[in-house]
Amino acid sequence: MNRLILLSILFIPFFSNLYFPEKVSSVEINCNSPVWKNKDRCKDKTVVKKKKKKRGPELLTTTGEIKYPFTLEKIGMLDLSSGKTIPVKLFSENKDLIEIIPKDGEKSNIDSESILQWSVGDYSEIKFSGVDALASGGGFAAGAIIGGGPAAPFLLLASPFVGMMSGNKAYPEWRVLVRELGEDGREKQILLQAVNEQNAFAIRSLVSEASGLKAGVTKSSGEIDILREKKLAKLESESLILENELLASYSKEEACSKDSENNKVMRYDEIKTLINGLRKSLRIEEAFKNVCSS
């Protein structure tokens, strides 16, 4: 008996700390679930239907390859001279051509064969207006430097992976610089800015597949000269075809008019300038002549 009394005294502090609720609350029923939504208990309750989020097109396959046609709708073209963002769409039917299509105005193309180099890096000194809007809507921003200059690639690669750029919701390591040989044989640089990691990887994959180059690898001077020669031959052929078409429909004076608003006449005049630029870059001293030269 004494032993029972002693055990009772020892367990009193333990039971005093236990909490016994006066009322046990019932489990709340989820009337949105397929199990309960048609039951009597859910008849008077409002069922909230969740809206399905619209998913954009898959840019890559499960193995990381580009899915064609490749499209990014909510993107921007960054004008590096003004720092403004122009709404554009990026589209590629296949690896031969990448199109940058603005909402208003003419589209621009990146010819895959003309890509001289691409690299990942940072333009830490440049702030672009409108990148915040792109970041909230997804996609990437793009800008072009015609001619570029020796400082541009160094600026781009000066401080990669430095974190969030002040004032812009876009990481510098999500930027890609594409160096391309233009129609006139001069180099132009195109800056691509992704605003999320998935799109950044897709852009790098797209440019890598189109160019056949790894990041930071540049085509040799011999390869670039061959590319210029191809462009020169293509322009000379186009010039001859246009010349025959123009002379079949217009007089020489009309075909050679500098004030003409005819698209074919203007293109014919433009081609001559482009050809002479390419000849100069290939160290061909003799200038190109057409019917308007005599």
What is the structure's pLDDT at 16? 53
Asked whether the beta carbons of 288 and 232 are under 8 A apart, the reply is: no
Q: Provide the token pair at 12.
A: 């009193």
User: Are 180 and 190 a contacting pair, CB within 8 Å?
Assistant: yes
| Arithmetic mean of pLDDT, 218-236 | 94
How far apart CA 280 and CA 104 sit, in angstroms, is 35
pLDDT for 60 beyond 60: yes
pLDDT in tens, 132-143: 555 554 444 555
Say how far apart CA 129 and CA 48 lie, in whole Å: 39
Rounded distance between C-alpha atoms, residue 66 and residue 81, angstroms: 32
User: Amino acid identity, residue 291?
Assistant: V
Which tokens sit at 28? 């709340």
Does the pLDDT value for residue 124 go beyond 50?
Answer: no
Q: How confident is the model at residue 42 (pLDDT cuts 50, 70, 90)?
A: confident
Instruction: Please say if the pLDDT value at position 28 is more than 90.
Output: no
- Residue predicted with more confidence, 180 or 139: 180
Regarding predicted confidence, which is higher, 170 or 88?
A: 88
- Residue 208 pLDDT > 60, yes or no? yes
Res 167: pLDDT: 41
Q: Is the pLDDT of residue 160 over 70?
A: no
Residue 155 or residue 21, greater confidence: 21
CB 117 within 8 Å of CB 165: no
d(CA 64, CA 54): 22
The reported pLDDT for the residue numbered 134 is 56
The whole-model pTM stands at 0.66
Query: Percent of the chain at pLDDT above 90?
Result: 31
Compare 130 and 260 and report the one with higher pLDDT. Answer: 260
> Which of 6-15, 45-54, 118-127, 139-148 ranks highest by mean pLDDT?
118-127
